[in-house]
Each structure stands twice: as C-alpha cells, then as structure tokens.
A = this chain, B = another copy of it.
Amino acid sequence: MSKERLIYLPLGGAGEIGMNAYVYGWGAPGKERMIIVDLGVTFPDMESSPGVDLIFADVEWLEERADRIEGVFITHAHEDHVGAVGHLWSRLRAPVFARKFTAHHATRKLEEAGQDPANVTVASPWPETTKAGPFTVGFVPISHSIPESSGVVIDTPAGRIVHTGDFKIDPTPLVGEPFDPDLWRSIGESGVKALVCDSTNVFSPHSGRSEASLADPITSLIQDAPGMVVATTFASNVARVKTLAEAAEAAGRSVCLMGRAMRRMIEASVATGVLTDFPKVVSPEDALDLPRTNLMLIVTGSQGERRAASAALSRGKYLGHEMKEGDLFLFSSKTIPGNEKGVIRVMNLLSEMGVDVVDDSSGDYHVSGHANRPDLAEMHKLINPQMLIPMHGEHRHLRAHVALGEESGIPGVVAPNGSMVDLTGDRPDVVEYVEAGRTYLDGEVQIGALDGVVRNRIRMALNGHVIVTAIIEDDEALGEPWVEIMGLPETGKSKAPLVDVMEEDLSQFLGRAKRSTLADDDDLEKELKRIARQTAQDEIGKKPEVTVVISRLTP
C-alpha cells in the first residue's frame, strides 16, 4: 500500500473570487478521508451565463467519493462560502459544521433545498474542536465583514493547516470578534505545515483600515444632509448596517430597513446573539408618517441589482417612499467588477430625481473586508508556516500572493481549481489535475457549464433564431415551406419581409431538389439551413441560428 499523504484540492475559489470550495484529504492515495471547507456560489451574468440562476463548483469528483467525506466546514455566512450547501447536499450527504450565526444560514439553505436541517451542527469556537475522521478542526474567530467569521485550524497526522477563510486584520470590527494577533501567533507557535490564505486584496498596497474608522465620516455626512437619507451596503455586512444605523440615530433620524435580505440578516444577527444593541427600527409603513429629515432608510441593492430596494427607489415609489431633490443616497460599498453598469444606472436615475449620490470614491464611506498586501505579510509572519497556499483569488492574485510569501522565504504554489497538491513533504507538490468546472442552476435543474445549453442561448442572443418548417409527403414537398423569425429585423436589403424572401428561396430549392435529398432528413435539413443562412446573410448581413422542422406525412 502507498504511503499516506495529506492533500489539498480546491474545486472553487482558486482562480476566481467567489464560489469557494476546498477539499483536504488524508490517507493512502485514492483512499484519503476528506473534509470540505466552504461550499459557495458565484453569480451568473448575461455575457457568459444568461438565464442561469446560480453557479457553483462542479462536485462530480467529490460525489463519486462521497463515502469518504467526513464533513463540510463553513467559515462564514457569505453566499460565496455557504450558498451551495443546500443545492449540493443531496450529492455529498456529509454533516455540516459551522458556528452559530453561520449555522443559522446553512440550516436555512438545507431547508430551502428540502433537506433535513439536522445535518447542520453548531460548533463552538476555538479552543473547542470537532473530530472528523483523521482531522481535528477548530473554528478560530477572525475579523471580516460578517459576524462570526472564522479561520479553520485543521490538525492532521501530517501537521497543522491554517485555512484563513476570508479575513482582514481589524482590531475594532464593531460586530464580531476583533482580530487577535496573540491568538493567531499562539496557533502558529507549535508549527504550521501550510497556511492556506485569502488572496483577494493582494494588489492593495496599503494596510487596511478598520470598520471603526467609518463611524465619524458617515455620521457627519448624515448630520449635514438636508433631506431624506438612504444608504445601501451588503446586508451581510452587519457591522456596517449598525454603523449606518447608529449614525442615523446620532443625527436624530429613525432607521427603516428595506429589502428582504436586509431585514432577514439583522433578524438573524439579533436571534443568534451577534448583534445586541441595534437602534430601534421603524417599519416602512410607520416611516411614512415621519418627517423625511428625521428618516434614514438602509436598503439592499449596493450592486445595482434590478430587483433590490435601491433600484426600486431609483425608479420611483417603493413601499410608499419616494426620493426627491435634495435627498442623499449613500453607497457604503464597493462595486464588484461586472456590476458597474447596474450601479451607474441606479446613480443616474437618482440623479434625474435631483438626489445627491455619494459613493466610496473618497475612501471615507467604505472599507474592504479583506486583508491588504501588508496585512497578508503580517499574517504570514504570525503563522510562520512551512508553506503558503494562496486561495480565494483570480490567477493573478494567487500568483502575486505566492511572490509575496517568497519575499519572506516561504515556499508557495499557485494551485488553481482542480490542482491536487500534496502537502506531506517540505514543499507543496502538485500531483494531479482533477476535472474542475462549474455547475449551473438553471430554473430547478443543475446543468454543466459546458453542456451546450447556455452556449445555444448565447448564440440565439447574438445571431437571432430562424425556424423553417417543411412538410414532405411521398418525398415531395407539400405546399410551401414556412419560416418564423425571432430576434431578427423584419426587413433587409430588398425591403420585402425577410420571412417572405426566405420562404421564396427555400421554396425554389424544394422545387428543384433531387428526390434523394428530399428523402433524407439530414441532407434536407442541412440544405434548408444553409439556404436560410445565406438568404439572411444577403438580406440583413448576418447568419442566424436555424432550426429546421421536417414533417413527413405518410400517405
């Protein structure tokens, strides 16, 4: 039997920001007992995944080895870490562990997927640990932009792994535990085999700022506002929502929460005890009775999402509330790449109403939840690991993070999704590439990103769609072929309707086609498609997708 080994295998999150899913295994090759850290989602976009509802890691490799999975450990309750745990549970069927607040969210994910919420176990924080096969796993509090974020410390027969999860070094995060350098140093003291570390902000050159630094600027911004104030941030950024609410209170304004995610998140925070002294909130209905100078709305939609409260307010009345000239709208958030156009759309609609829009461009109203470059170096130093495996980042982030580690003499490796890394020796060693991809949740069906379904949608969107129907009886065309178009101009060069020109060309072809062509479905389809595309090219200058339907009547 081969020697036992310790492996690391990212299936999501390494080579992208989002969709985190990391596997650790210990045992003889091919017989490793495994744990999963995080099972998150990423979000579709019109360019690459139109019509898709959610995206998560392709777990086929894991599913085939489900009997070897000891547990799923969730570091925190952000969607890109916990969002897929419900959708994928039936395929992995392993117990889920998380701290209380995170477990609250994981439980709901399982319930929504029709799974037994009892599969989620609430874990106490470090120094308590959970045994999972050959692993002993502890949740160590770490500061980030959501309550109860944790790094996981994984003790294995080959040594200790520190998997940071998402984190920043914040001594005053306002909600949740401050970053405790002594605690992390002590975790590193007994020797750490591998630091598996968040890479999101490796390109941010200056030390990160604390959540607490925002209270003063936000408070004075709100105090100076002459009309109604509306602010948006990620609902999960409970500390920020609290900062905004307290600033409102200090300015003599009542707070009203809008958007389902916002209310749910604050309720969950109160229910699980992570939020204890949140200002009193008024309902949207009651808020209608307050003078607008005494009101602040905190709303969902910091990324310009069309269905969120911010977008609804930018379009007009929402729950009876309407913004107007002299009001203030604050984006206490950063725009995630790809969402710029949506955010700008909301900003311009608000501008049309005469609303003053303030965003994070001054740096006064938002701080990131991730460790910047000097903070990453600080973390390397505190943990002092034998090797560094950057995770949660695009390829360029992982690469720059390896280089940063090397500056301190720590060997590292760029291990994108699908790279199986053997951590047993002195240095990380990529031993295998596993098929790693994306699974799309489309309506209620899980489809592979490369199945061709979405590719066909993109083709129809780019090229339009022509449907050609022909009825064949006794190997002769019965009547004229019929053409329908969708997503194409009605007329082109000849000024006659495009469908008429196509039907004419197709009809001519059928009239002179050989009997053998008419008798062969494949040949006939190919020819009809070719003619429809050529006619479109001549008439409108583009070649559409064509579906041919041949009906054969048996006389």
**Which A residues are closer than 8 A to B by beta carbons?**
15, 45-47, 50-51, 203, 337-338, 340-341, 344, 347-348, 350-352, 354, 357, 361, 394-396, 399, 442-445, 447, 451, 453-454, 456-458, 460-465, 467, 469, 471, 478-479, 482, 484, 486-493, 540-542, 545, 547, 549, 551, 553
> In the bound complex, what is the Cα–Cα distance between A551 and B399 (angstroms)?
60
Q: Is the CB of A348 within 8 A of B442?
A: no
> In the bound complex, what is the Cα–Cα distance between A469 and B553 (angstroms)?
13
- Expressed in whole angstroms, the minimum distance between the Cβ of A182 and any Cβ of chain B is 34
Given the complex, which residues of B lie within 8 Å of A553, measured CB to CB? Answer: 471, 478-479, 553
Instruction: Give the number of times this chain occurs in the complex, counting copies.
Output: 2
Given the complex, which residues of B lie within 8 Å of A467, measured CB to CB? Answer: 467, 547, 549
Identify 24 residue pairs between A and B in the complex whose beta-carbon atoms are under 8 Å apart, listed by A's number.
A45-B47, A45-B341, A46-B458, A46-B461, A50-B458, A50-B461, A340-B340, A344-B394, A347-B394, A442-B542, A443-B489, A443-B492, A443-B541, A445-B491, A453-B487, A454-B487, A456-B486, A457-B460, A457-B461, A460-B460, A460-B486, A461-B461, A479-B551, A486-B547
> In the bound complex, what is the Cα–Cα distance between A479 and B487 (angstroms)?
30
Q: Which residue from B361, B461, B490 sits with its C-beta under 8 Å from A51?
A: B461
- Expressed in whole angstroms, the minimum distance between the Cβ of A536 and any Cβ of chain B is 8
Closest 3 CB pairs of A and B: A444-B541, A443-B541, A443-B542
Q: Is the CB of B469 within 8 A of A549?
A: yes
- Expressed in whole angstroms, the minimum distance between the Cβ of A544 and any Cβ of chain B is 9
> In the bound complex, what is the Cα–Cα distance between A394 and B357 (angstroms)?
13
Given the complex, which residues of B lie within 8 Å of A549, measured CB to CB? Answer: 467, 469, 482, 484, 549
- Expressed in whole angstroms, the minimum distance between the Cβ of A454 and any Cβ of chain B is 7
- Expressed in whole angstroms, the minimum distance between the Cβ of A104 and any Cβ of chain B is 26
Given the complex, which residues of B lie within 8 Å of A487, measured CB to CB? Answer: 51, 453-454, 456-457, 460
- Expressed in whole angstroms, the minimum distance between the Cβ of A128 and any Cβ of chain B is 39
Q: Which residue from B464, B471, B486 sits with its C-beta under 8 Å from A545?
A: B486
Q: Is the CB of B396 within 8 A of A347?
A: yes
* In the complex with contacts A45-B341, A351-B399, A482-B549, A458-B461 CB distance below 8 A: yes
Q: Is the CB of A396 within 8 A of B351?
A: yes
* In the complex with contacts A453-B487, A461-B51, A445-B551 CB distance below 8 A: no
Given the complex, which residues of B lie within 8 Å of A394, measured CB to CB? Answer: 344, 347-348, 351
Q: Is the CB of B395 within 8 A of A348?
A: yes
> In the bound complex, what is the Cα–Cα distance between A465 and B443 (angstroms)?
14
- Expressed in whole angstroms, the minimum distance between the Cβ of A253 and any Cβ of chain B is 24
> In the bound complex, what is the Cα–Cα distance between A487 and B486 (angstroms)?
14
> In the bound complex, what is the Cα–Cα distance between A46 and B47 (angstroms)?
5
Given the complex, which residues of B lie within 8 Å of A396, measured CB to CB? Answer: 347-348, 350-351, 357
Given the complex, which residues of B lie within 8 Å of A51, measured CB to CB? Answer: 461-464, 487, 542
* In the complex with contacts A541-B443, A542-B442, A547-B486, A465-B465 CB distance below 8 A: yes
> In the bound complex, what is the Cα–Cα distance between A443 and B462 (angstroms)?
11
Given the complex, which residues of B lie within 8 Å of A453, measured CB to CB? Answer: 464, 487-490
> In the bound complex, what is the Cα–Cα distance between A443 and B395 (angstroms)?
36
Given the complex, which residues of B lie within 8 Å of A395, measured CB to CB? Answer: 348, 351-352
Given the complex, which residues of B lie within 8 Å of A490, measured CB to CB? Answer: 453
> In the bound complex, what is the Cα–Cα distance between A458 and B462 (angstroms)?
9
Given the complex, which residues of B lie within 8 Å of A347, measured CB to CB? Answer: 394, 396
Point out which of A340, A396, A487 has the most chain B C-beta atoms below 10 A from its C-beta: A487
* In the complex with contacts A51-B461, A338-B341, A445-B486 CB distance below 8 A: no
- Expressed in whole angstroms, the minimum distance between the Cβ of A120 and any Cβ of chain B is 25
- Expressed in whole angstroms, the minimum distance between the Cβ of A98 and any Cβ of chain B is 28
Since A443-B542, A549-B549 are in contact, a sample of 4 more A-B pairs with Cβ atoms closer than 8 Å, ordered by chain A residue number, is: A445-B540, A457-B461, A457-B464, A460-B465
- Expressed in whole angstroms, the minimum distance between the Cβ of A261 and any Cβ of chain B is 22
